[in-house]
Amino acid sequence: MLRQISFIALLISLLVAPLLGIASEAKPFAEKHVVLQISDPNPFKQTLVLNVAGNILKHYGSDKVDVEIVAFGPGLRLLTLGNSNTKRIDALNSEGVRFSACKNTIKAFTKKLGHAPELNPVAVPVSAGVVRIMDLVDKGYILVKP
Amino acid sequence: MNIFKKSLCAIAVGSGILIAGQAQAVNWLMVQGTEEPGSAPRAKLWGFLQPQYERTQNDKLADGPWKGQDAAFNSIGPNLDSNSQFQLRRARIGVRGAGFPLDDKINYFFLAEFGKNGITEYGDAVELTDASVTFNHIKGVRIRVGQFKTPMSEEVYQGIALFDWINFTGYAAQQLLERHLAVDGQTPCTPNLTNAKYLEACAKGNEWEAFGAARDTGIQVFDTFVFESMQDWEFSYSAMVGNGNGLNEGDKNNNKDYYLYFSAEQVYDGKRARRNGWKTFAWYTKGTREILTSSGKGLGANYREDEFDRKRWGIGTTYRKGKIRAAAEYNKAEGMIFNGVTGGAIPGNIANNVPVTAQFNILPDEEADGWYVDFGYKVLPKIELAARYDRYNRGTKNTLDVNGIGVERKYKTLTLGAQYFFNKKTRATVNYAFRDGDGQDNNTADNILDDMGDVLSFQVTAIF
């Protein structure tokens, strides 16, 4: 009997899982999932991507939306330690916005600089920025590149 | 007499900054010397244009050897050929950024002047105004090398594209924007002068060989600090050593100029050049100038090049919040001071009855001081009305020359202004200056200064 109940519970959970969507651990009640791409050298784009993240949170409420910013290429400068936008990054992070840093870009920066770039502690290295974006899109995230 | 001379308009100097608007309570040390960490571009092209029209009352000299001739203070600089003039006061283009953006601990600043003003009047058609590199590797000790603005009076140190007035105060125009003269110009310039160098210089009106433009070539250490317990306050310092010989010139002597600057600012909001805050500051600079005089440092010397001290210092405060901006400064000059033009005449003009040429001149060992209060209020989002009152006292140390004639001059100027902001980077400014001057213990000078005319100016500023 117990075995049957367990089996039914497992079956139900498997059936319901897709309906629950892609709720992340940090944002269990999120109804929207967005990944923002920053890969541009233009400093204005740094401000823009942070503005977009802030506006999304403001519109949906920080509990109802899950936002991740993925930085790669020249856009990784957004996540270097001491960036002029650090306060805004920290504020967004405190509201649940995640920041991913491309390991390939970190390697390239290291080669050019002669040492590894110091990153903002909120930055989470991911194997490849573009792969991270593809994975998130596969999970149902909407990709926005401001 | 002699107020404003070429300085009236020729003192177009300053550095630029990227955003138009009012400029009080901005940390110019950081805005001009550094880039935003982590987001500095490789090369940001920028600049600004300031076409203008200006006119003064066309009163001639009322007294003295040049009586009836054009007055320098009633002529529009930098050429002083008329009392009304359209001109391109400033036209600057530059590049700034971090050459290797991944390592933005190093940034640069480059700016050149294409306009017609004190910088280019006796220089080349295009003059380099700023070219510097800043190293930001050591916390608390940023190092900047090259040619750039020297921290001093906010009036001239600020990014000039954000200056809320068209002309500088009398004191700043004459004592802070230095003209480097070859000879002191105190000896009457007659064809029979025995010293060829002196005669050559004074016969041309003793035009300046270089223009300081509130800049110097040298090395500066500086930084800004924010303490944990007072996070809305910024404390800044700067110490600098430079040649003290004007734009794009090498040094003339072995003595360097030294500059010190301190500021404390309560920051309300905003960033970089668009910040609201309340700042107080103090600064000091000291150097020596080598110049040919007929008497040297002592009476009896016969045409000697001597070195004279040049000291400047000042204190001030600026405030900007919402619709209001305000500023006040007191500045003092000791040692070598600029003393205008002989008889208030146009430099190079010959006196009526004697073969004496009017010339720019300096007093090698004198004093001067000046102060101003400045207030602006935005009556509408795009319109600001403003008033500035400034006083300037020149030749205050000895007051009388060896012949018992007064050398002291006192000037008062009330300037009313209005600005219309088309957008954040373009604005139109109109100023009307009521000017008044007195020659102390000197009837001739006093008569001349009685005819110092008011000045009406229009200017457009477009930043790109």
Mean pLDDT of B268-273: 82
**pLDDT at residue B26, as a whole number:** 81
Task: State how far the alpha carbon of B151 is from the alpha carbons of A103, B161, B258, in Å.
Answer: 43, 17, 11
Assign domain A24-144 to its CATH superfamily. Answer: DsrEFH-like (3.40.1260.10)
- What top-level class would CATH report for the domain B7-463? mainly beta
Could B38 and A83 be called an inter-chain contact, meaning their C-beta atoms sit closer than 8 Å?
A: yes
Give the orientation angle of helix A86-94 with respect to helix A43-60, to 10 degrees: 20
Could B39 and A43 be called an inter-chain contact, meaning their C-beta atoms sit closer than 8 Å?
A: yes
User: Rounded to 5, what percent of chain A is helix, strand, coil?
Assistant: 50, 20, 30
| Contact residues for B47 (Cβ-Cβ < 8 A; gap 6+) | B16, B91, B92, B93, B94, B111, B463, B464
Q: Is the pLDDT confidence value at B19 over 60?
A: no
Q: Is the pLDDT confidence value at B1 over 60?
A: no
* Residue B41 Cα, gap to closest chain A Cα (Å): 6
User: Please, which residues bridge with residue B145 across strands?
Assistant: B133, B219
Q: Does B51 touch chain A (CB under 8 A)?
A: no
- Domain ranges across chain A: 24-144
| Cβ-based contacts under 8 A for chains A and B | 37
pLDDT per residue as tens digits for the range A41-100? 888 999 999 999 999 999 999 999 999 999 999 999 999 998 999 999 999 999 999 999
**pLDDT at residue A83, as a whole number:** 92
**pLDDT at residue B281, as a whole number:** 98
* Residue B38 Cα, gap to closest chain A Cα (Å): 4
Could A82 and B40 be called an inter-chain contact, meaning their C-beta atoms sit closer than 8 Å?
A: no
pLDDT per residue as tens digits for the range B31-62? 999 999 888 999 999 999 999 999 998 889 99
Could A77 and B41 be called an inter-chain contact, meaning their C-beta atoms sit closer than 8 Å?
A: no
Q: Is the pLDDT confidence value at B287 over 90?
A: yes
pLDDT per residue as tens digits for the range B194-247? 899 999 999 999 999 889 999 999 999 999 999 988 989 999 999 999 999 989
Could B102 and A85 be called an inter-chain contact, meaning their C-beta atoms sit closer than 8 Å?
A: no
| List of chain B residues whose C-beta atoms are within 8 Å of the C-beta of residue A109 | 102
Q: Does B296 touch chain A (CB under 8 A)?
A: no
Q: What is the ipTM of this complex?
A: 0.71
Task: State how far the alpha carbon of A29 is from the alpha carbons of A13, A94, A138, B152, in Å.
Answer: 18, 17, 19, 56
- Domain ranges across chain B: 7-463
Could B39 and A78 be called an inter-chain contact, meaning their C-beta atoms sit closer than 8 Å?
A: yes
Relative to beta strand B324-341, strand B304-321 is: antiparallel
The Cα B178–Cα B257 span in angstroms is 13
Q: Are B416 and B430 in contact (CB under 8 A)?
A: no
* Residue B136 Cα, gap to closest chain A Cα (Å): 12
Mean pLDDT of A106-117: 93
pLDDT per residue as tens digits for the range B175-204? 999 999 999 999 999 999 989 999 999 999
* Residue A77 Cα, gap to closest chain B Cα (Å): 5
- Residue B139: Cβ within 10 Å count: 8
Could B39 and A112 be called an inter-chain contact, meaning their C-beta atoms sit closer than 8 Å?
A: no
The Cα B81–Cα B140 span in angstroms is 49
Which site among A84, A88, A119 would you substitute to test the B interface, given the most B Cβ atoms closer than 10 Å to its Cβ? A84
* Residue A5 Cα, gap to closest chain B Cα (Å): 57
Could A117 and B102 be called an inter-chain contact, meaning their C-beta atoms sit closer than 8 Å?
A: yes
Could B38 and A112 be called an inter-chain contact, meaning their C-beta atoms sit closer than 8 Å?
A: no
Q: Does B37 touch chain A (CB under 8 A)?
A: yes
